Amino acid sequence: MRIDILTLFPEMFQGVFETSILRKANELGAFQYNFVNFRDYTENKHHKVDDYPYGGGAGMVLSPQPIFDAVGAIQQKSKTKPRVILMCPQGETHTQKKSVELSKEEHLVFICGHYEGYDERIREHLATDEISIGDYVLTGGELGAMVVIDSVVRLLPGVLGNEASAPEDSFSTGLLEHPHYTRPADYKGMKVPEVLLSGNHAKIEQWRKQQSLKRTYERRKDLLEHYPLSQTDQEWLNKSDLTDN
Ligand SMILES: C[S@@+](CC[C@H](N)C(=O)[O-])C[C@H]1O[C@@H](n2cnc3c(N)ncnc32)[C@H](O)[C@@H]1O
């Protein structure tokens, strides 16, 4: 996968891209990244990327020209039609489902805004997607782009090493994941559930599924509305007295 990132502050990405899984993914060749400082595409004498809002008001607005030209140059060189993702608090809230969808693309372009945001024509005519990382406002799109990129890149083939783990993560199954324990079995009187020490894989799987359902019911009931509960799941939820039934 190729990822181009339009940003005025490429140095913000260094620590994240040069550490842990993202670094490994890049070294493995699973993804290549490139920063484009759209200030380099400005046509005005002072390399200004923003201007006053029409109609007045506080703050500056990112101008269309440098961003259109920077994305245009990327599109011209691209072998595919890249997804152009505008980082924006007004966009669709990012989800694991969207990460899975984006992980299947060959080329992504992220646009990181600043100041009051973008000229609306960028949103209307250039972006294929608008992503928000939550209902709050950040100073710029960089942190959001890092969040989305991390969640996408870890899904690329070979990146996690342990291929089995990503499909079991919270949200991938439609539920929150079950709790995890590691050694020691007894830490200062706090014990690991017996079933996990039993070696009985069928029982362990059943326990994990039940814990996953319980957790989701307790913390994110909204997820259960879209989850295809089997009869056994429903019976267990009823039996464990978690539901109102
Ligand atoms: C200060 S914000 C602009 C907010 C804009 N005036 C509004 O109210 O919608 C500047 C930039 O930060 C980024 N940003 C802020 N909050 C974000 C969020 N929740 N998710 C993704 N990007 C965000 C966007 O790129 C945005 O253009």
- 18-42 tens-digit pLDDT: 999 999 999 999 999 999 999 999 9
- Measure the CA–CA gap between 175 and 69, rounded to whole angstroms: 42
Q: Is 82 in the pocket of ligand 1 (CB under 6 A)?
A: no
Ligand 1 neighbour 3 (Cβ under 6 A) = no
pLDDT at position 116: 94
Cis peptide bond N-terminal to 53, omega within 30: no
> Do the Cβ atoms of 29 and 153 come closer than 8 Å?
no
pLDDT at 115: 94
To test the ligand 1 pocket, which listed residue (9, 138, 148) has its Cβ within 8 A of the most ligand atoms? Answer: 138
> Which residues does residue 2 pair with via DSSP β-bridges, in sequence order?
32, 107
Say what the pLDDT of residue 165 is. 73
CA 69 to centroid of ligand 1, rounded, Å: 21
pTM higher than 0.90: yes
In this prediction, residue 163 carries a pLDDT of 61
pLDDT, one tens digit per residue, over 148-200 is 999 999 999 999 986 657 888 999 999 999 999 999 999 999 999 999 999 99
Q: Which atom of ligand 1 is nearest to the CA of 140?
A: 12
How much is the pLDDT for 167? 84
How far apart CA 89 and CA 166 sit, in angstroms, is 27
- Are the C-beta atoms of residues 10 and 37 closer than 8 Å to each other? yes
CA of 102 to the centre of ligand 1 (A): 21
Q: What is the pLDDT of residues 101-148, one digit of tens each?
A: 999 999 999 999 999 999 999 999 999 999 999 999 999 999 999 999
Closest listed residue to residue 112, CA positions, set 75, 54, 62: 62
φ, ψ of residue 83 to 5 degrees: the values are -75, 135
Q: Count Cβ atoms within 10 A of the Cβ of residue 105 and give its class: 0-12 exposed, 13-18 middle, 19 or more buried.
A: middle
pLDDT of residue 164: 59
Q: Is the CB of 184 under 6 A from ligand 1?
A: no
Q: Domains (ranges, CATH) in the chain?
A: 2-153 (3.40.1280.10), 170-239 (1.10.1270.20)
- Amino acid 168: pLDDT: 86
Report the catalytic residues.
Answer: 89, 116, 154, 169
Beta strand 186-187 with 190-191 is: antiparallel
The predicted pLDDT at position 243 comes to 65
pLDDT at 242: 75
Distance of CA 153 to the CA centre of its chain: 9
Is residue 94 classed as helix, strand or coil in its secondary structure? coil
- In angstroms, the CA 168 to CA 175 distance is 9
* pLDDT score, position 166: 82
Q: Mean of the pLDDT values across residues 209-237?
A: 95
CB-ligand 1 contact for 178 (6 Å cutoff): no
Q: Mean pLDDT score of the chain, rounded to an integer?
A: 95
Residue 244 has pLDDT above 60, yes or no: no
Instruction: Quote the pLDDT of residue 241.
Output: 75
Nearest CA to ligand 1 atom 20: 132
Q: What is the pLDDT of residue 161?
A: 83
| Distance (Å, whole) CA 60 – CA 64 | 13
Nearest CA to ligand 1 atom 15: 138
